[in-house]
Amino acid sequence: MQLPSALRRATPAALKHDVRLRALAVGSGLIPPRAMHSGEEAALLQRLCRGRRRVVELGVYEGGSAALLAGWMDPGSELHLVDPFGEHPDALPAGWGALEPATRKVVARAAARRGPDAPSVHWHVALSQDLAPRWTDPIDLLFIDGDHSEEGCRRDWDGFHGHVAADGVVLVHDSRLGQPRGRGLEGPTAVVDALFRGPDALPGWRIVDEVDRTTVVARAT
């Protein structure tokens, strides 16, 4: 059972942001994982993950969006979660981090609620750039939400987009800084702007949806 929200708000910041204490509380279910997505983005994930056989999320953190995917994906599908865990300044705010055992428990609880209808969950505890050269399976939905530097986000795109199926989609989080009704960070926004907006946009791909901080791209038909 989760602690009451009033008690969580009253927790001193030094305790609230302690990585190990947070991991203990998140893993045991006393507090929920930090939601790195808005309600609009959750609805987008729910809509787009349906009918996808293989979903890959780059950047899992405490498992908030991964738990949603585990609760919504079709029976018999695969959810691949990629994260090195720990503290990574280009992926998370200073002082934030996540521990693998706690995040696994968050996702496992979400999958357990589905019973036999849950997708199979595959963990890749590694930096995405180390996994990319070994990746061979087609991807139906790729969610890029790891290293938020421009170099790191572009590296994730370069490493994985070639495996996206013809009817697949790529979601880039925190990529709508300066866009109407948008938010984001400079790194992912710079990558999306360079690849998919303006006269020099990458041929063969197009933006098909935009919500809050998330840009969705697919192969042009």
- The structural domains of the chain, with segments of one domain joined by +, span 36-219
Average pLDDT, the chain: 91
Q: Yes or no: is domain 36-219 CATH 3.40.47.10?
A: no
Does pLDDT of 2 surpass 80? no
Does pLDDT of 74 surpass 80? yes
Pairing verdict, β 214-219 and 164-172: antiparallel
* Number of Cβ atoms within 10 Å of the Cβ of 173: 25
Tell me, what's the pLDDT at 155? 97
Token look-up 């293989």 returns: 54
Tell me, what's the pLDDT at 17? 64
pLDDT (mean) for 176-202: 96
Nearest-10 crossing angle of helices 100-114, 19-28: 20
Rounded distance between C-alpha atoms, residue 70 and residue 120, angstroms: 8
Q: Could you tell me the pTM of the whole model?
A: 0.90
